[in-house]
Chain A
Amino acid sequence: MFEFLGITPQALYSQLLVGLINGSFYAVLSLGLAVIFGMLNIINFAHGAQYMMGAFIAWMGLTQLGGWLGDSTLQINYWAMLLIAPLLTAAIGIAIERTMLSRLYKLDHLYGLLLTFGLALIIEGLFRYFYGVSGQPYEIPEVLQGALNLGFMFLPKYRAWVIVASLSVCFATWYMIERTKLGSYLRAGTENPRLVQAFGINVPLMITLTYGFGVALAAFAGVLAAPIFTVSPLMGADLIIVVFAVVVIGGMGSILGSIVTGLGLGLIEGLTKVFYSEASAVVIFVIMVIVLLVRPAGLFGRER
């Protein structure tokens, strides 16, 4: 069968694995969008910019901070940044939600999209101004340098770590929302905010924290991406459009749905690169068109 496809099984496995790595980025990002959408009913256009911010904060901590504080030995390493960058970005996100987004909840949801689009332009423009677009290098942390010999391929340790880390975060998020008490409030708040408010739960606070959490997921993906893709102000802009297509395909109804769709599309994209690389940039959009024709609400979605 493999001979028929013109590719050895080894090559196929390694390509699938590479596809899975990209898929895990899609999964974390579309999960963040879905979490925010579930609670706030808006699409966070600034998600790509926040992903980029995560990567940039990690880079600044490692290479710039010492210079700013006048002590060149001072730096925050990758592992600390996996926590700090999402928290910082989330803090900025929460400030945005409190001061701007919260004024728009009574209006058409499209205004939320427009506002976050404007914010994305501002954030991107600022980073562009200060750091240019040519991209900043970020070293892979020492423990994860080198590659594992899997028999069929050399898998760089760092890429293996990306899969492990993002799948764990996805699973943890799913568990928290679907299986814990906090998550049940959240789900109830999504269904009927007024009723939940009547039970004495602070819904506005819940909304704010949800937005912060979604943003933190984007920034986390950004830190994961920093060592393998160049850290550049434009890194989020084009990615986010693909993630939008992923979200349309999956439908934003379920948490698990957005994770599975993200991973699945990463795999499909990986396969396209093997068999017909010319189409790899558009394959996700083509799938979106097919899904819209067959199942307009998305694979896991329901019409609202």
Chain B
Amino acid sequence: MVTHRAALGFAALLIAGLAAPQFGIYPTFLMKCWCFALFACAFNLLIGYAGLLSFGHAAFFGAAGYIAGHAIKVWGWSPECGLLAATAFAAALGWLFGSLAIRRAGIYFAMITLALAQMTYFAWIQLKFTGGEDGLQGVPRGEMFGMIDLTDNMNLYYVVFAIFLAGFFLIYRTVHSPFGQVLKSIRENEPRALSLGYDVARYKLLAFVLSAALSGLAGATKTLVFQLASLTDAHWHTSGEVVLMTLLGGLGTVFGPVVGAFVVIGLQNQLADKVGSWVQVIMGAIFVACVLAFRRGIVGELMALMHRIGLRRV
């Protein structure tokens, strides 16, 4: 089921992911990148394949972070149970948001998701267990399945990478399943899909829930890495960032969001100390450049380039 080119991509991703920390790249930075890469892939499932632009995905990312943090720190759950609980919570929240938001399409959909996310943001500020502006700190990493010691950075790195791969592969399989085909047909021509007898709303909702759940998994994993959950992850800026990662990497491409996440996080990491507040300006400028001149994104443009070269050879 995996095409030749995708298999090549998978292999490259696997090797890069396994080898990267051995080459002196700071593992915590890499772990952050994988978390955001999974987040962006989950987001891409919605916009790239179902054509739904959610501007409130930080809600799931942030909420799962809090749930995982609270479950592990206060209730003393094991990391895997914490991650599962957080993912389940994000899925439930996604079902709630989804069933409201899919009542409208297009721009309204974007505004509704944004507003709903802002509502949860205010809830996190006020709720006691999140620590409000202080955040939830000192979440212990513990032992995965009672045997992998996560306080060791390298162990944690490979666990995070494995989580990413699992999520990534799930998305890939979903997109290339009959379910994914229906989603694409809805994106291309909703009335037609409806007339063919597909329950469009149900398909959209299912895609939304899946996307929310995986975003939650990414957020919960990030909490495990940084040992804290904070408001930043639930803020609309984070929603904007994930849109940027996906757009920059390539909407509707399998590997695009991964590339986008690495570029954006890498840039932020490199620039933050050097240019200060200019980071936001640069992010905005990348947004504008992508929309105006570069709508296929990095991976999309590369694929188009390869396609052209291939045609010439023939």
Contact = CB atoms under 8 A, between A and B. Distances in A.
A103 B115 contact: no
Contact of A114 (B100, B236, B287): B287
B148 interface: no
Contact of A241 (B53, B236, B276): B236
A104 B291 contact: yes
B111 A115 contact: no
A238 to B, nearest CB: 8
Interface string B273-291: 0001111110111111011
Given A122-B281, A125-B284, A296 B103 contact: yes
Contact of B119 (A128, A286, A293): A286
B38 interface: no
Given A100-B292, A289-B100, A121 B284 contact: yes
Nearest to A100: B292
Contacts of A241: 114-115, 118, 236
Given A104-B291, A111-B295, A285-B118, A43 B285 contact: no
Helix, strand, loop or mixed for chain A's interface? Answer: helix
Given A42-B107, A292-B112, A114 B284 contact: no
B116 A248 contact: no
Interface residues of A, number: 43
Contacts of A100: 288, 292
A43 B107 contact: yes
B171 interface: no
B76 interface: no
Contact of A117 (B112, B119, B287): B287
A153 interface: no
Contacts of B53: 110, 113-114
Contact of A285 (B116, B278, B287): B116
A241 B247 CA distance: 22
Given A42-B107, A118-B285, A119-B284, A289 B291 contact: no
A194 interface: no
B170 interface: no
Contacts of A238: 118
B107 A109 contact: yes
A289 B118 CA distance: 13
Interface in A115-141: 115, 117-126, 128-129
A122 B284 contact: yes
Interface string B231-250: 00000100010010001000
A147 interface: no
A292 B104 contact: yes
Nearest to B295: A111
Nearest to A297: B104
Contact of B291 (A118, A120, A121, A278): A118
B122 interface: yes
A129 B116 CA distance: 30
Contacts of A242: 118
A104 B290 CA distance: 12
A113 to B, nearest CB: 6
A121 B283 contact: yes
A43 B110 contact: yes
A43 B126 CA distance: 30
A125 B278 contact: yes
B251 to A, nearest CB: 10
A114 B111 contact: no
Contacts of A289: 100, 116
B127 to A, nearest CB: 11
Nearest to A99: B292
Interface string B217-241: 0000000000000000000100010
Interface string A249-293: 000000000000000000000000000001001100110110011
B29 to A, nearest CB: 23
A247 interface: yes
Interface centre among B240, B276, B280, by most A CB within 10 Å? B280
30 contacts: A37-B107, A42-B107, A100-B292, A109-B106, A110-B107, A113-B53, A113-B110, A114-B247, A114-B290, A115-B288, A118-B283, A118-B286, A121-B283, A121-B287, A122-B281, A122-B288, A125-B277, A125-B283, A126-B281, A129-B278, A129-B281, A241-B114, A241-B115, A244-B111, A245-B115, A245-B118, A282-B119, A289-B100, A292-B100, A296-B104
Interface of A: 37, 42-43, 100, 103-104, 107, 109-111, 113-115, 117-126, 128-129, 238, 241-242, 244-245, 247-248, 278, 281-282, 285-286, 288-289, 292-293, 296-297
Interface of B: 53, 100, 103-104, 106-108, 110-112, 114-116, 118-119, 122-123, 126, 236, 240, 243, 247, 276-281, 283-288, 290-292, 295
Given A113-B53, A118-B285, A282-B123, 20 more contacts: A43-B110, A109-B107, A110-B53, A110-B106, A114-B291, A117-B243, A119-B284, A121-B283, A122-B284, A122-B285, A123-B284, A238-B118, A241-B118, A242-B118, A245-B118, A278-B126, A282-B122, A285-B118, A288-B112, A292-B112
